Amino acid sequence: MIQKRFHFFWTSHTAGGGFEFHKKPKVRKCYGNFGIPHNEHSFSFPGQFENLLSDGEHEVVNHAKCGYGNELMYRKVFEVIENPHFHINRDILFLEISDAGRKEIWNNDINDFVILNYAFEPLANHGVASKYWYDSHDTITKLESRREFYNELIKSSMDSQVQFDLIARNCIMLINFLQNNNIKFYITNGFPPVKPSISENYYKVQNHIIQYEFITPNGDKIKDETFVTSTEPYYSINLETGQYYDDFHQGLFVNKVVAKTIYNRLVDDKIITSEKQNIDWNEWNTITEKIKNNIGILWAK
């Protein structure tokens, strides 16, 4: 019997963005011989967290999808809770609140949800997909036929302040719902974007936030609740591969550190009954040296 079931929600940083082995030859060349299954989940931090668990004792479910954000998280959280197999003492949720610029819409042409990725300055649609990197030719054709409609929808209906306020309200309602119903959850990448007055009076969330510590290649310590922005200047896939593979997502090293940090927090909270994991900062050198040998070229300085 499964003791705990760990559910991870968010965007490409949780899904394993950057490790699309089936589409990107450079990924396979850099990471193909690490003894890890060649897919996004296995290289993601939920996948690395899964590797730390005893076989068959716990289950990990990665609900994240590249390009998606808060609206997918809200929807999937309630799908999990409404599932008859959900158990309040067994299921643990790991949430991430993303930025604006990600609008989920139902599409009747493909009978599925799609994500619109957009920017505010200038206000424009930057992409639409059902499943980035996995959409069939037929799906891509149908979505492209609606591109002008989506462009006009973004331009005529999106306002930055309105969207930021909407994110704040929805996050408050979701988190208060989870707290009021004693559902176990953690926030994996920083404090939700709410006004201080709201936070102090209605938003008791500090105990749910994961804290990270990183040591930069220069030896400086970084303590932060946000692993994405704090590690981007030092540990992106681009830097991990010596700028051979230009991708802004976190590399294997960061995902290993995040996985162990989450694991250790669960040990502290007595959700996992085991010894804490040791975080080896020299593993950065081990990983980068292996990639260097894999690609067989001089790294860019």
CATH class of 4-101+164-295: alpha beta
Check: CB of residue 73 under 8 Å from CB of residue 96. yes
Give tens-digit pLDDT for 86-100: 999 999 999 988 888
Place of tokens 């197999």: 85
The Cα–Cα gap between 157 and 155 comes to: 6
Q: pLDDT (tens digit, 9 = 90+) per residue, 231-272?
A: 989 999 999 999 999 999 999 999 999 999 999 999 999 999
Strands 58-62 and 123-129: unpaired
List the single range of 23-37, 178-192, 253-267 with lowest mean pLDDT: 178-192
Alpha carbons 59 and 182: distance in angstroms, whole number:
20
| pLDDT above 70 as % of the chain | 94
What pLDDT was estimated at residue 301? 44
Specify the domain boundaries for CATH 3.40.50.1110 within the chain: 4-101+164-295
DSSP string, 7-32: EE--SHHHHTTT--TTT-HHHHHHHT
27 contacts 234 by C-beta, under 8 angstroms: no
